[in-house]
Amino acid sequence: MKRYKVTIVNTKTDTEVGEGTSLSELSKIYKSSFPHDILSARVDNIERDLAYRIDDDCTVEFLDITSSLGFRVYQRSAVFIMLAAVRKILGAGAVVWVEHTINDNIFCTVKGAEITDSLLSKIRTEMLDIVNSNFEIQKVQVSFAEAEELFKANNLMHCYNELKYIRANNITLYKLNDYYDYLYGTMVPSTKYIGIFNLVKHSDGFVLQFESPHKPGTLNPHRDYKKLTAIFKEYNEWSEILNVSALGSLNDAISSGRIKELMLIAEALQEKKIANIADEIQKSGKKLVFIAGPSSSGKTTFSKRLCIQLKVIGIKPHVISLDDYYKPREEIPFEEDGTRNFENINTLEIDRLNDDLIRLKAGEEVETPIYDFLTGEPKSTGRKIQLESDDVLVIEGIHGLNDALTPRISAEDKFKIYISALTQLNIDEHNRISTTDSRLIRRIVRDNAFRGFPASNTISMWHKVLKGEEENIFPFQENADVTFNSALIYELGVLKVFAEPLLFNMDKSESGYTEAKRLLNLLNGFLAVNPQDIPDNSLIREFIGGSCFQ
């Protein structure tokens, strides 16, 4: 029997294994070195499930729930168990839609069944039985004809429609006893790996709570974000207007030549929403408009389009950026990795900002600062602003919804807008498209187009971006007076054209290679959309170029 050298990345040790040794067998040897269950692994920087068998010298990095990839495996496997439980209790007549995340948990709806506490209790009990029985979760290859029959039998018509756009001879499914499903990504080997979970009634569906990746052994807290829930309902309504609720129906629109009309309707829905927000600002009578949102949410273009709509109704807007209120660079604190943390609220000249806002509201002329990022200092001369009776000040920046930014400004004077790219599109009934993934793809394309950064740079720093958002943006999103969804239902078909070459260009040795492959797998299902057809005022132009606002 051949023997291969395996370097365990986590422990920085080498070992020898026989040909065909599974990662599951290998993980048992190193189990004591990990405080939590090993869920999957990276082999030579490629994500593998624990059933994978070693057939050459390689490096192995084991992943548990505390890693982003490991947590995805946990989520996916828990969802699979939930789907199997629902299928057993309700049969094929009820179809679960896995819709979006709420605080690292998953919100789901069920078409064909009323969600009650009693039903959720039955599903939870069935899931516990499945987990305690330690059933094997198998990866199986089936033909297209077999997949079509399975999807029709389970009433998964979006999965069925998706098949015609898949470029492969066979389909990979997962099997749990007699239940088959089509889920993107790897799974745990058996049901015993899913330790704790819960089901909570929420809105017109339920939330599947997962074990926390930050505090393993406890559940992710369930929080009721009422304003976020409302915006998700709004985009479901938009999807119905567009007649596109899943990837297959989007590809149908592209392949049939209906994509231009769909794009125009999607853009018109956003423009109408922006106009409505301008009307709300006017009705409020407030002079200070704060706009905040996570990275790549399209804040810059949104702000400019909002300003146009404000002018339409007779309001003159003046725009300032919170970035211009940064303290001198030498006063910005360092992170553990040696980089400066520009995302902490205390990096801003809060006293000066409040002084300026109070004076502006009083009608005084104020010279607001302009920060020079090359020198790390404010420029010697700033920007003079004075608000007339029909003017408003638009303030853009990540801390805009945090009241600690404006402690001396009354709540009655502030109109707050939260903007994010809240994905409108599912791949199919059981596979969602993460809002975080959509924003990351936007960021990869923009960083390359306007800064010349390769995809590897963007991916390598993305975890820091997410950490900053968790601390400085998401906790305050419910403080907003209105929420704007900047996602466009067709955008990944456009971004695919720009992102795929950048992701394909990444080397296998780079740390972000696994993430690049995952994003490529996501984009692979989309038919390309011609970027030339996009209006020049579209939010997506902020990322691909050609905006009339640039």
Section 145-167 average pLDDT? 91
**The last residue of a domain, from among 157, 179, 209:** 209
Contact (CB, 8 A) for 473 and 420: no
User: Among candidates 524, 508, 526, 529, which has minimal Cα distance to 168?
Assistant: 524
* Range with the poorest average pLDDT among 4-18, 114-128, 337-351, 443-457: 337-351
* pLDDT confidence of residue 331: 87
- How many CA atoms, within 13 angstroms, populate the side-chain half-sphere of residue 327? 16
* Range with the poorest average pLDDT among 123-137, 240-254, 270-284, 303-317: 240-254
* pLDDT confidence of residue 338: 73
Instruction: Give the H/E segment covering residue 395.
Output: strand 391-396
> Distance between CA 184 and CA 172 in Å, rounded?
9
From residue 32, how far is each of 11, 51, 418 by CA, in Å?
11, 20, 45
Contact (CB, 8 A) for 375 and 454: no
Average pLDDT over all residues of the chain: 93
Section 264-271 average pLDDT? 96
Q: Based on the fold, state whether residues 370 and 449 are members of the same structural domain.
A: yes
Q: Based on the fold, state whether residues 371 and 507 are members of the same structural domain.
A: yes
Extract the tokens encoding 225: 């974000």
Q: Based on the fold, state whether residues 318 and 452 are members of the same structural domain.
A: yes
Q: Tens of pLDDT along 197-225?
A: 999 999 889 999 999 999 999 999 998 88
Question: If you write DSSP's letter for every residue of 262-315 in order, what string do you get?
Answer: HHHHHHHHHHHHHHHHHHHHHHHT-SEEEEE--TTS-HHHHHHHHHHHHHHTT-
Decide if 163 is inside a domain: yes
CATH of the domain at 50: 3.10.20.30
Decide if 549 is inside a domain: no
> Distance between CA 11 and CA 28 in Å, rounded?
14
* pLDDT confidence of residue 337: 74
Instruction: Give the count of domains, the chain.
Output: 3
Alpha-carbon radius of gyration of the chain: 25
Q: Tens of pLDDT along 504-545?
A: 999 999 989 999 999 999 999 999 999 999 999 999 999 999
Extract the tokens encoding 536: 């020049």
Contacts of 449 (CB under 8 A, 6+ apart): 498, 543, 544, 545
**Model confidence band, residue 226 (pLDDT cutoffs 50, 70, 90):** confident
Q: Based on the fold, state whether residues 28 and 87 are members of the same structural domain.
A: no
Decide if 215 is inside a domain: no
**The last residue of a domain, from among 17, 38, 64:** 64
Q: Based on the fold, state whether residues 60 and 95 are members of the same structural domain.
A: no
Decide if 59 is inside a domain: yes
* Range with the poorest average pLDDT among 59-68, 225-234, 283-292, 501-510: 225-234
Decide if 218 is inside a domain: no
* pLDDT confidence of residue 333: 81
User: Among candidates 190, 196, 192, which has minimal Cα distance to 215?
Assistant: 196
**The last residue of a domain, from among 16, 47, 64:** 64
Residue 394's beta-bridge partner residues? 289, 319
In degrees and rounded to multiples of 5, residue 270 shows phi and psi of -65, -45
Which range is most confident: 199-203, 238-242, 329-333, 343-347?
199-203
Section 416-432 average pLDDT? 91
> Distance between CA 202 and CA 471 in Å, rounded?
25
> Distance between CA 305 and CA 535 in Å, rounded?
13
Decide if 486 is inside a domain: yes
Q: Based on the fold, state whether residues 134 and 193 are members of the same structural domain.
A: yes
> Distance between CA 339 and CA 62 in Å, rounded?
28
Contact (CB, 8 A) for 309 and 417: no
* pLDDT confidence of residue 238: 87
Residue 550 has pLDDT above 80, yes or no: no
In degrees and rounded to multiples of 5, residue 407 shows phi and psi of -65, -20
Q: Based on the fold, state whether residues 249 and 196 are members of the same structural domain.
A: no
DSSP β-ladder status, 58-63 and 3-8: parallel
In degrees and rounded to multiples of 5, residue 81 shows phi and psi of -65, -40
Q: Based on the fold, state whether residues 145 and 36 are members of the same structural domain.
A: no
Report CA dihedral (233, 235, 240, 242) to the nearest 10 degrees.
Answer: 170
Extract the tokens encoding 359: 């004076």
User: Among candidates 154, 187, 178, 193, which has minimal Cα distance to 31?
Assistant: 193
Give me the domain span that covers residue 158: 69-209
* pLDDT confidence of residue 245: 86
* pLDDT confidence of residue 340: 78
Q: Based on the fold, state whether residues 113 and 252 are members of the same structural domain.
A: no
Section 260-273 average pLDDT? 95
Decide if 255 is inside a domain: yes
Q: What is the pTM of this model?
A: 0.93
Extract the tokens encoding 347: 């990096």
Residue 424 has pLDDT above 80, yes or no: no
Contacts of 445 (CB under 8 A, 6+ apart): 495, 498, 499, 502, 543, 544
Residue 266 has pLDDT above 80, yes or no: yes
Section 299-321 average pLDDT? 96
Q: Based on the fold, state whether residues 35 and 88 are members of the same structural domain.
A: no
* pLDDT confidence of residue 231: 82
Section 288-305 average pLDDT? 95
Contact (CB, 8 A) for 469 and 416: no
Q: Based on the fold, state whether residues 59 and 90 are members of the same structural domain.
A: no
* pLDDT confidence of residue 526: 96
Extract the tokens encoding 61: 């990095």
Q: Tens of pLDDT along 40-99?
A: 999 999 999 999 999 999 999 999 999 999 999 999 999 999 999 999 999 988 999 999
Q: Based on the fold, state whether residues 137 and 46 are members of the same structural domain.
A: no
User: Among candidates 324, 321, 340, which has minimal Cα distance to 332?
Assistant: 340
Decide if 244 is inside a domain: yes
* pLDDT confidence of residue 441: 98
> Distance between CA 385 and CA 387 in Å, rounded?
7
CATH of the domain at 520: 3.40.50.300
CATH of the domain at 146: 3.30.980.10
